[in-house]
Amino acid sequence: MPATQKLRTAPRKQAIQPRALATVDAILEATARILVREGYDHASTNRIAEAAGVSIGSLYQYFPSKEALVAALMDRHVEEMSIVLQRETARVLDAPFESAIEHVVQAMLAAHAVNPKLHKVFVEQVPRVGRLQKIRDIEEGALRLARDFLEHRRTELRPGLDLDLASFIVVATVEALTHAAVLYRPDLLADRRMVNEVRDVVVRYLT
């Protein structure tokens, strides 16, 4: 690279002063609001900046692209969900079989109740950002965890079960029923009957 290349560092910047932190936060909050209210492709960066009460220039000081902005919001959302998930599943994996399943289901529902509307937008509308890979990673982690759990409790399962296939089925079922609740019946996210039914589906399938 010749000397003329000024190394134009990409416009990503780390906020330091409290004022800047507030700006970043306002932008993320506004992004969430607009995404939920208007949908992904009506959520233009200009509109987001306006809703956040900052100029479009400020937005691009902290996020190098719209994609990066949405990805950052996604990270924050996933982080919040993970905290709930881990808190609710910390001590139960050695609990009695049925109770362990129940707690995991309960945790999934609670995690998705953090911000169901935003979650719905991510699931339904946000395009194949590179971040989709991250979702796949989470998915794969869940699959491995489930697989290990089933292996560990092998003696309590009905015989003849293909553990690989069974873990795929179980993970997909719990996730999917949770998502179905998010999309169509958000009222069920906090309903104990939902927890019981999903637990029954899984336990009856496995034992």
Q: How does 192-202 read in b/e, with b if 16+ C-beta sit within 10 Å?
A: eebbeebbebb
- Closest approach of DNA to the CB of residue 114, in Å: 25
Q: How does 3-39 read in b/e, with b if 16+ C-beta sit within 10 Å?
A: eeeeeeeeeeeeeeeeeeeebbebbbebbbbbbbeee
Q: List, in order, residues 6 or more apart from 167 with CB less than 8 Å away.
A: 143, 146, 147, 150
**Of DNA, a second copy, none, which one does residue 139 interact with (CB within 5 to 8 Å by kind)?**
a second copy
Stretch that binds DNA, among 47-55, 103-111, 160-168, 194-202 (CB under 7 A): 47-55
Q: Which of 15, 72, 135, 166 binds DNA (CB under 7 A)?
A: 15
Counting contacts by CB under 7 A, is residue 29 touching DNA? no
User: Where in 23-62 is the site for a second copy (CB under 8 A)?
Assistant: 39-41
115: tokens are: 């911000």
Query: Among residues 11 and 186, whose Cβ is nearest to DNA?
Result: 11
Question: Looking up tokens 């109770």, which residue turns up?
Answer: 99
Residue type, 2: P
Counting contacts by CB under 8 A, is residue 97 touching a second copy? no
Counting contacts by CB under 8 A, is residue 72 touching a second copy? no
* CA 149 to mean position of chain CA atoms: 22
Question: Which positions lie near a second copy, rule CB under 8 A?
Answer: 39-41, 124-125, 127-128, 139, 162, 165-166, 168-169, 172-173, 175-177, 179-180, 184-185, 193-194, 197-198, 200-201, 204-205
